[in-house]
């Protein structure tokens, strides 16, 4: 039996022999190394050793975590703008309001509830965003009650209160967006691996999801593909609970020879 650390990037699962993994850490803030290849995100000091950190996303040729966050933030902002427009349309046309009513049921609220940063500046920004977002939904609930008995009061609330709180919510959200690098660091994890000559290096990944203990006989050949890019050696593919997991034999910090 062999134990594998299972991790996720986008929606794809990968595994690596746990014997290769020295530590699993929160992704550290890194010092840039501009003279290094682009797949190296930077370096940090760990246990009196200078650790270079690779981006697994860059190794497999997909968009960076920070780029993905920017797309998510744009989507959340657009969805909440659509929420406000739907609220106004519901009031003007006396139609039922079918979008999220509580601050925990819309996409932005679900993201706020799922994110708990340790960084103080980011935590303060998230608290401010959460406060305005809750106030916005609470005011919207009052509007929906008023529109049944006093439509004019509801219109006044939309104009004088809800639009103002919505602007404050988006302003608070923009402060979080500007700290997207910190958000990315907070959400990711770093695998500290043992490299050549017992030198450690790190690999930033999205999320550790499991530790699996399997018989290597369960591995299928990855259709003859021994390598995944220039830095990753593939051992095979494992099927587990209906999902395919690419099992990585080795990761190297230096590009392999052609």
Whole-number pLDDT of residue 256: 59
Question: What is the per-residue pLDDT for 227?
Answer: 67
Convert the pLDDT of each residue in 151-179 to its tens digit: 999 999 999 999 999 999 999 999 999 99
% of the chain residues with pLDDT over 70: 97
Q: What pLDDT does residue 222 have?
A: 62
Please report the pLDDT score of residue 192 as a whole number. Answer: 95
pLDDT at residue 151, as a whole number: 92
pLDDT of residue 223: 57
Which residues of the chain carry a pLDDT beneath 70?
222-225, 227, 256-258
- On whether the CB atoms of residues 246 and 228 are closer than 8 A, the answer is yes
Q: Specify the CATH number of the domain 65-183.
A: 1.20.120.30
Write down the domain spans for the chain: 2-61+188-251, 65-183
**Orientation of helix 120-149 relative to helix 180-187, angle to 10°:** 100
Q: Are 2 and 214 in contact (CB under 8 A)?
A: yes
Q: Considering the entire predicted model, what is its pTM? A: 0.79
Q: Say if strands 21-26 and 189-194 run parallel, antiparallel, or are unpaired.
A: antiparallel
Cβ atoms of 215 and 41 closer than 8 Å: no
> 74: closest CA among 50, 47, 108?
108
Q: Supply the Cα-derived Rg of the chain in whole angstroms.
A: 24
**What DSSP line would sit under the chain, residue for residue?**
-EEEEEEEETTEEEEEEGGGEEEEEEPPP-B--TTS-TTEEEEEEETTEEEEEEEHHHHHT---HHHHHHHHHHHHHHHHHHHHHHHHHHHHTT----S--STTTSHHHHHHHH----SHHHHHHHHHHHHHHHHHHHHHHHHHHHHHH-HHHHHHHIIIIIHHHHHHHHHHHHHHHTTHHHHHHHH-EEEEEE-GGG-EEEEEESEEEEEEEE-GGGPBP-TT--EETTTEEEEEEEEETTEEEEEEEEE-SSPPP-
Q: What pLDDT score does 177 carry? A: 94
The CATH code that applies to domain 2-61+188-251 is 2.40.50.180
**pLDDT value at residue 106:** 95
14 neighbors 246 (Cβ within 8 angstroms)? yes
> How confident is the model over 5-42, as pLDDT tens digits?
999 988 899 999 999 999 999 998 888 887 777 788 89
């Amino acid at each position: 039996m062999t134990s594998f650390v299972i991790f996720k990037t986008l929606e794809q699962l990968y595994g690596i022999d746990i014997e290769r993994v020295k530590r699993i850490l929160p992704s550290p803030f890194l010092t840039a190394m501009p003279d290094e290849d682009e797949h190296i995100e930077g370096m940090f000091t760990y246990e009196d050793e200078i650790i270079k950190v690779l981006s697994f996303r860059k190794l497999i040729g997909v968009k960076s975590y920070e780029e993905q966050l920017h797309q998510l933030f744009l989507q959340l902002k657009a969805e909440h703008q659509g929420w406000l427009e739907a609220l106004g349309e519901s009031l003007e046309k006396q139609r039922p309001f079918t979008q999220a009513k509580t601050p925990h049921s819309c996409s932005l609220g679900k993201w706020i509830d799922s994110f708990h940063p340790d960084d103080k500046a980011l935590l303060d920004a998230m608290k401010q965003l959460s406060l305005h977002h809750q106030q916005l939904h609470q005011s919207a609930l009052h509007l929906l009650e008023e529109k049944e008995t006093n439509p004019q009061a509801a219109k006044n609330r939309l104009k004088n209160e809800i639009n103002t709180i919505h602007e404050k919510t988006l302003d608070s959200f923009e402060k979080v967006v500007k700290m997207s690098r910190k958000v990315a660091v907070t959400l990711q994890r770093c695998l500290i691996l043992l490299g050549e000559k017992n030198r450690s290096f790190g690999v930033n990944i999205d999320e550790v999801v499991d530790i699996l203990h399997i018989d290597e006989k369960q591995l299928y050949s990855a259709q003859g593909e021994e390598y995944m890019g220039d830095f990753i050696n593939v051992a095979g593919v494992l099927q587990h609970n209906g999902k395919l997991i690419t099992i990585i034999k080795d990761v190297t910090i230096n590009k392999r020879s052609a």
